[in-house]
């Protein structure tokens, strides 16, 4: 069996980032085997890739389930492919989309960028909003009216809640079992809690109970969906935003999202990746 690489995506240089497993082989294992490998690795996601002509067939598994798209595992995969095949762009065939990732070696780290699936967003149902506020112990007064609660999408569904203060973001906590049930019922992969520092700089935490993980230190898929949402609401993003995530976990991670003008179009999400010690 091919060894699983362990790569931290969206790192802050040679520290931080979100660990992902990367499995590359000639043929993908069956779904049950991939699920077992992902559970054994224990990271929030493991990407599985096998060549398909000149392109790559890719599937993503968390410890608890398969997910349709995972940004940080895609960045990690781009780093692994660039390390193996050289600096270039790789076409990826996912279960429900075709995307690309590029990798460029740069000393001890690898710079990687992905093009997300198309984005979309809609207002969050008020009853679900209230359930999410109750889950995290927030009140309506904690919400930032500049970022209305929404259901956002870029290959997978997420919810976003904007918070007025960094202190409210720092105290994020929730009952894991209840959160997982609620997310499964609502069809949410993650719940993004967001605080605005400037129009182009955001602090974010992502609950990922649906995937069997309390919190992700970096979430590229949710970053793409959030960037698409900002475009939808006419946010003054200036073409790109930067996201700082994982600080409250001691794993500072840096994500950049570049936003085109066309509504619903792909978001370019980039960062660095570092190979972790075995």
Distance, in Å, from the CA atom of 216 to the CA atom of 205, rounded to the nearest integer, reads 7
pLDDT beyond 90 at 2: no
Give the residue-averaged pLDDT of 227-253.
97
Residue, of 269 and 278, whose pLDDT is higher: 269
Are 65 and 210 in contact, with CB atoms under 8 Å apart? yes
Give the residue-averaged pLDDT of 99-108.
89
Q: Determine the pLDDT at residue 109.
A: 84
pLDDT beyond 50 at 138: yes
- On the CB side of 275, how many CA atoms lie within 13 Å of its CA? 16
pLDDT tens for 63-90 read: 999 999 999 999 999 999 999 999 999 9
Give the residue-averaged pLDDT of 182-201.
97
pLDDT beyond 90 at 274: yes
- For residue 207, give both structure tokens: 């609950």
Give the residue-averaged pLDDT of 41-49.
95
Give the residue-averaged pLDDT of 114-132.
97
Give the residue-averaged pLDDT of 226-238.
98
Q: Determine the pLDDT at residue 278.
A: 46
Q: How far is CA 95 from CA 44, 60, 92, 116, 208, in A?
A: 19, 9, 10, 14, 20
* Nearest alpha-carbon partner for 204 in 155, 141, 147: 147
Q: Determine the pLDDT at residue 216.
A: 92
Give the residue-averaged pLDDT of 158-165.
98
pLDDT tens for 164-183 read: 999 999 999 999 999 999 99
Q: Determine the pLDDT at residue 185.
A: 97
Are 38 and 237 in contact, with CB atoms under 8 Å apart? no
Q: Determine the pLDDT at residue 106.
A: 80
pLDDT tens for 3-35 read: 999 999 999 988 999 999 999 999 999 999 999
The pTM assigned to this predicted structure is 0.92
* Nearest alpha-carbon partner for 114 in 156, 50, 71, 83: 71
Q: Determine the pLDDT at residue 1.
A: 52
pLDDT beyond 80 at 108: no
Q: How far is CA 253 from CA 151, 228, 242, 270, in A?
A: 23, 20, 10, 12
């Amino acid at each position: 069996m091919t060894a699983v690489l362990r790569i931290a995506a969206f790192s802050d240089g040679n520290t931080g980032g979100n660990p992902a497993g990367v499995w590359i082989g000639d043929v993908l294992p069956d779904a049950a085997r991939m699920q077992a490998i992902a559970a054994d690795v224990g990271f929030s996601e493991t990407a599985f890739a096998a060549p398909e002509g000149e392109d790559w067939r890719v599937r993503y598994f968390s410890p608890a389930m398969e997910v349709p798209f995972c940004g940080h595992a895609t960045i990690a995969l781009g780093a692994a492919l660039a390390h193996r095949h050289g600096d270039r762009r790789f076409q990826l065939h996912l279960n429900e989309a075709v995307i690309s990732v590029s990798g460029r070696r740069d000393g001890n780290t690898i710079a990687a960028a992905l093009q997300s699936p198309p984005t979309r967003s809609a207002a969050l149902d008020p009853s679900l909003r209230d359930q999410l506020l109750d889950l995290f112990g927030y009140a309506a007064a904690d919400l930032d009216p500049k970022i209305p609660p929404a259901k956002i999408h870029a290959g997978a569904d997420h919810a976003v809640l904007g918070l007025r203060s960094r202190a409210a973001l720092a105290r994020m906590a929730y009952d894991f079992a209840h959160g997982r049930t609620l997310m499964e019922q609502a069809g949410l992969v993650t719940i993004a809690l967001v605080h605005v520092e400037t129009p182009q700089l955001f602090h974010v935490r992502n609950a990922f109970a649906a995937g069997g993980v309390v919190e992700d230190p970096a979430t590229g898929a949710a970053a793409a969906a959030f960037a698409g949402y900002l475009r939808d609401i006419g946010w003054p993003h200036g073409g790109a935003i930067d996201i700082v995530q994982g600080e409250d976990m001691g794993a500072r991670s840096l994500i950049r999202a570049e936003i085109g003008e066309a509504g619903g179009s792909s978001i370019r999400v980039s960062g660095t990746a570092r190979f972790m010690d075995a």
